[in-house]
């Protein structure tokens, strides 16, 4: 795996199975609850199809056809316009600790701003300490409760940032 062959790009239909596998593997690896989380979302097996409306985008990390992670932006469901949600940010162990999480994060936040959002919200599991640290380093602030209607009642970390 060479840094020269790794790119961050928009998701394609043929990426669905690989990104689903990464998402589900992360839940098992970090012992995150499977219910009330992205694990049981209808979108998880069909990520390409789930990010095709205006104000939505999903990116993947591609190493010559091997998908190594992804993250996306959608409007925050049942909440104020202008607030997006960073969703389904999961990575293979192969790319963790190598700066790709930060690159993906920057890519998503830039896309959100370009799409006209003024705030970005996210939910996470307390088990994902490294991810939470990255969110904090990008200026995300902790909230006392969830916003919107994500259906992720098992997530215990809620954060927001002005774009």
Number of domains in the chain: 1
Distance CA 160, CA 86 (A): 10
The CATH number of the domain where 21 resides is what? 3.40.630.30
Give me the tens of pLDDT residue by residue for the chain, a chain 163 residues long. Answer: 666 789 999 999 999 999 999 999 988 887 776 776 677 768 888 999 999 999 999 999 999 999 999 999 999 988 878 999 999 998 999 999 899 989 999 999 999 999 999 999 999 888 888 889 989 999 999 999 999 887 665 678 999 999 9
141: three-class secondary structure by DSSP: strand
Domain with 50, as residue range(s), is: 3-162
Distance CA 162, CA 58 (A): 20
The pLDDT score that the predictor gives to residue 151 is 67
| Pick from 51, 115, 63: nearest CA to 87 | 51
Query: In which order are the strands placed within the sheet that holds 57-63?
Result: 6-10, 57-63, 66-75, 83-91, 119-124, 157-162, 141-142
Neighbours of 116 (CB within 10 A): 12
The pLDDT score that the predictor gives to residue 3 is 65
**Residue length of the chain:** 163
């Amino acid at each position: 795996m060479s840094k020269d062959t790794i790119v961050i790009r928009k998701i394609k239909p043929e990426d669905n199975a690989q990104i689903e596998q990464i998402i589900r593997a992360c839940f098992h690896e970090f012992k995150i609850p499977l219910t009330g989380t992205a694990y049981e979302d209808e979108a998880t097996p069909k990520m390409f199809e789930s990010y095709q409306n205006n104000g939505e985008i999903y990116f993947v990390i591609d190493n010559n056809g091997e998908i190594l992670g992804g993250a996306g932006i959608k409007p925050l469901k049942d909440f104020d316009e202008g607030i997006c949600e960073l969703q389904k940010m999961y990575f293979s162990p192969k790319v963790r600790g190598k700066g790709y999480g930060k690159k993906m994060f920057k890519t998503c936040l830039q896309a959100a701003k370009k799409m006209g959002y003024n705030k970005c919200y996210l939910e996470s599991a307390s088990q994902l300490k490294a991810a939470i640290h990255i969110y904090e380093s990008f200026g995300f602030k902790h909230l006392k409760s969830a916003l919107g209607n994500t259906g992720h009642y098992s997530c215990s970390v809620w954060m927001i940032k002005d774009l």
